[in-house]
Amino acid sequence: MKPTNGSAADHLSPVLRPVHAGHGFEAALEQILQVIRLGLVAEGERLPAERELAERLRISRVTLREVLKVLHEQGLVESRRGRYGGTFVCRRTAAPDVTGIDIEDTLRFREVLELGAAELCAARELTRDQVARLRAALAATRDAAPEDYRRRDTLFHLTLTELSGSPSLAAHYAGVRAAVNGLLDCMPLLVRNLEHSQRQHTVLMTAVLTGDVAGAREVMREHCAGTAALVRGFLG
């Protein structure tokens, strides 16, 4: 399996942030768990090298290795030696446990953050590079195989929230998206729903790039409502 490359590492920026010294171990563990649960590094692919992770989190290599040891013990990552070695995300063998997740609260909070991100993005004048990132993220969802769609969908939404210009919004969204993905992983993939989502993504991006704030907000509201209806139908 190929290691993650530089562009893939860019997708980690909404989640991997410098942690406070007082609780570096716990905060670093939380962030790397989010990377895994969000699928920002796919199953079977390699996490960034220890040196890069430590620098991005601003923790010592010793603390990072303690974090990776916990992930090893939980069966979430594995180490491989050799030229293409490193720490790799393990393949999951069972659906995630969503016991204790308040479904309604999670869906409401997700909607608030998504609507805010769409509105902020549409109100901003994105740079050429930012526009290219958003277009690439959308293209990746369009070209994704069904089994990889949710991961690519997550990356598209994370890119949108990161481009909103609010690091706090992006950080909170990463957390709630991990919970939403836990719910979605308990449901079947529905081709018709995926096709509908793709049409909404396209309309959303057009609204964002043309500065249509109200339009971006409304299509995101419809998009979140569709997901919420499915979650309530299967898990409510």
* Per-residue pLDDT tens over the stretch 198-209: 999 999 999 999
> How many CB atoms lie under 10 A from the CB of residue 176?
19
Q: Kindly report, residue by residue over 179-194, the tens digit of the pLDDT.
A: 999 899 888 888 878 8
Average pLDDT over residues 60-84: 90
Query: Given a cut of 50, is residue 3 above it in pLDDT?
Result: no
Whole-angstrom distance, CA of residue 33 vs CA of residue 59:
16
Q: What is the structure's pLDDT at 82?
A: 86
Whole-angstrom distance, CA of residue 170 vs CA of residue 191:
28
Average per-residue pLDDT in the chain? Answer: 89
Whole-angstrom distance, CA of residue 121 vs CA of residue 135:
13
Average pLDDT over residues 8-16: 75
Average pLDDT over residues 159-163: 95
Could you give the count of Cα atoms lying within 13 Å of 187 in the half-sphere of its Cβ? 21
User: Does the global pTM surpass 0.85?
Assistant: no
Round the CA-based radius of gyration of the chain to a whole number and report it.
18
Average pLDDT over residues 12-21: 83
